[in-house]
Amino acid sequence: MQHSSNADVQDQPLLAIEDLHLSTRSAVLVEGISLTVNRGEMVGLLGESGCGKTITALSVLGLLPKHAVKVSRGRILFEQTNMADLDETELNRIRGNRMAMIFQEPMTSLNPIMTIGAQIGEALEIHRKMAGRERKAEVKRLLGLVGLPSEDAQLQRYPFQLSGGQRQRVMIAIALACEPALLIADEPTTALDVTIQAQILDLIAEMRKRFGMACVMVTHDLGVIAETCDRAVVMYAGRIAEEGPVDDLFGNPIHRYTEALIGTIPAANPPGSRLPAIPGAVPPPGERPKGCAFAGRCNFAIDVCATETPPEVRRGAHAGYCWNPAS
């Protein structure tokens, strides 16, 4: 695919997800997600466990589990190319090159019996056709970049010899190897300690600045989004509940779910006080109610919530889907 510096193209969003539906044989997992990511932008994707964040991210790279989950409607445009039109070889040319991903589990996401040097070098070998000394030098440079020691001996280490934070750095080095235009980080810090989390988030922010890449930060942690992203999308039960600039989103949420979610954070409540809680649990795919999926748990639900799909409530760049929006 050709990659032009034409201003017109530069104005186009880097990634556009349009009305994406993902489903298994028996259930719809993700229903009508639309999302755009501009060049250099950091977008947060927020939602509870099981709401479909990971599979949405995977679908962007064409990495959905084979035979299990399919794109049933909608499309994904990356640099104006419809990903659905590409075959596996063409996808491979994009993956790891123009677009890269970091996964949630640093402990298992690296091949346990390959040295980290080989794992970082692989992307260079495939996309940059680098070999030998050149590749080695580049791998060392990348290691240095992510703050890992970059002596020769380090290249020969295996993942099991590294701590979780170090492994996540290796993952980042792999993702950055070919200076992608888009980085998708799927909960890159949930498995890590807070102090390490801070390091990793810092690192991602710094890399983004340095390479000017766009980034989708997938997480369930409001704080992470608030600290790192420009814009965020809140998902609930496979749908978008609300999206907008982070300040608006947290300052004046539209959707009652976002509002309740922010309310439950201990730090936002006086110590020892009773935390506002959201009763019940997220309905699993296949058992989602008709109207608003949150209606059953919402303290502000009105009759129509349970039957009709909620309308868009828009406040500038900030939009939510709610029948009874917070003011």
Ligand X SMILES: Nc1ncnc2c1ncn2[C@@H]1O[C@H](COP(=O)(O)OP(=O)(O)OP(=O)(O)O)[C@@H](O)[C@H]1O
Q: Are strands 70-78 and 15-23 parallel, antiparallel or unpaired?
A: antiparallel
Q: Burial level of 309, CB count in 10 A (0-12/13-18/19+)?
A: middle
Instruction: Supply φ then ψ for residue 266, to 5 degrees.
Output: -55, -40
Per the rule left: phi > 0, alpha: psi between -120 and 50, beta: everything else, 262 is alpha
User: Among residues 180 and 188, whose Cβ is nearest to ligand X?
Assistant: 188
- Establish if 161 lies at the interface with another protein (CB under 8 A): yes
Pick the stretch among 31-39, 118-126, 128-136, 318-326 that binds another protein (CB under 8 A): 118-126
CB atoms closer than 10 angstroms to residue 314: 12
Q: Which residues contact 306 (CB under 8 A, 6 or more apart)?
A: 289, 290, 291, 292, 295, 296
Three state DSSP letters for 33-53: EEEEECCCCEEEEEECCCCCH
Considering only residues 11-50, where is the footprint of ligand X by CB under 6 A? Answer: 24, 29, 47, 49-50
Nearer to another protein, 34 or 163 (CB): 163
Tokens of 146: 């992510």
Residue 109 interacts, among ligand X, another protein, Mg ion, none and using kind-specific CB cut-offs from 5 to 8 Å, with another protein
Our finding on whether 283 is near another protein (CB under 8 A) is yes
- Residues within window 35-54 making contact with Mg ion, judged by CB under 5 A: 54
Residues contacting residue 162 through CB under 8 Å, at least 6 positions apart = 116, 170
Rule CB under 8 A: which of 165-224 touch another protein?
A: 165-166, 171, 174-175, 193-199, 202, 220-224
For the bound state, the minimum distance from the C-beta of residue 234 to another protein, rounded and expressed in Å, comes to 12
The reply on whether position 229 binds another protein by CB under 8 A is no
Q: Nearer to another protein by C-beta: 72 or 92?
A: 92
Report the site for ligand X in 212-241 (rule: CB under 6 A): 220
Residues in touch with ligand X (CB under 6 A): 24, 29, 47, 49-55, 65, 68-69, 220, 284-285
Residues in touch with Mg ion (CB under 5 A): 54
